[in-house]
Amino acid sequence: MQGKIFRVSLMLLLGTIIYSCIGEFEKPLPESVRLRPTLAIPLINADLNIENSLVLLGYPQFDLDTIDLADFDTIYLIDTLSLALSDIQDTVEAITFLEFKIALWNDFPSYAELQVYFIDDNLHQVDSLFYPNMFQIVNGIANPDDGKVIKRGFSTTSIIYEPGRIEKIKPATRAVLRSRISNMGVAPEHFDYYKDYSLSVKIGARIGIDYIFDL
């Protein structure tokens, strides 16, 4: 999908340039056209929640209806998503930079941390988005009367990949989202709402290109 977006965007831009040249007949058509556009595409849009993503260390299997999350100092939400970065790489010859823009929303009343691992078809990790530590996400604000979160925590950041690091993640076909949520200091009544909460992750890419079309 990302590859199609690139091809369509580049062809539209190239067509505009050629049309502008043809419109002025006194100017000869150039032998080549150099494009340096900046494109933005969505990569990840995911909600990590208790029902679908919960992992409890030391409990490979558990019954969500009977387990008490208040018994754990830390809980983990993990999910694996497809990531067609190779489509982006194969569409253009020279990507000058790749900037990931990350937006995170936290329903939980305590701080959370996130790491994104890029893995290849052999399940080998080729890179991690945040280095050297996980990225911390602001906690949600709870109603002091009943403990229910009434305002989501929000954190955002951006990470720029230089050409050497872009090449490193070229084999990546999947992204593993791994979040860690602290239960330390959380009042018992807050856990009544945990099954309704999620950690929302949106990651987009802004890509700079230096590309020459031969006409």
- Is residue 103 assigned to a domain? yes
Q: What is the pLDDT of residue 128?
A: 96
Question: What tens digit of pLDDT does each residue of 139-152 get?
Answer: 999 998 888 999 99
Question: What tens digit of pLDDT does each residue of 92-109 get?
Answer: 456 778 899 999 999 999
Place of tokens 């590859």: 3
Distance CA 6, CA 3 (A): 5
Range of the domain at 112: 37-210
- Is residue 60 assigned to a domain? yes
- Is residue 4 assigned to a domain? no
Which CATH number fits the domain that encloses residue 126?
2.60.120
- Dihedral over Cα of 200, 204, 116, 124: its sign: positive
Distance CA 181, CA 87 (A): 33
Q: Strands 74-82, 54-55: parallel, antiparallel or unpaired by DSSP?
A: antiparallel
- Picking from 62, 58, 59, 56, the residue whose alpha carbon sits closest to that of residue 77 is 56
Q: Is the pTM of this model over 0.85?
A: no
Per-residue pLDDT of the chain (215 residues; tens, 9 = 90+): 555 555 545 555 555 545 555 555 556 656 666 667 778 888 999 999 999 999 998 888 888 888 899 999 999 999 999 986 656 555 545 677 889 999 999 999 999 999 999 999 999 999 999 988 999 999 999 998 888 999 999 999 999 998 888 888 888 999 999 999 999 989 888 999 999 999 999 999 988 877 665 66
Domain count, the chain: 1
Distance CA 79, CA 111 (A): 19
- Is residue 5 assigned to a domain? no
DSSP-based three-state secondary structure for 17: helix
- Is residue 29 assigned to a domain? no
- Is residue 30 assigned to a domain? no
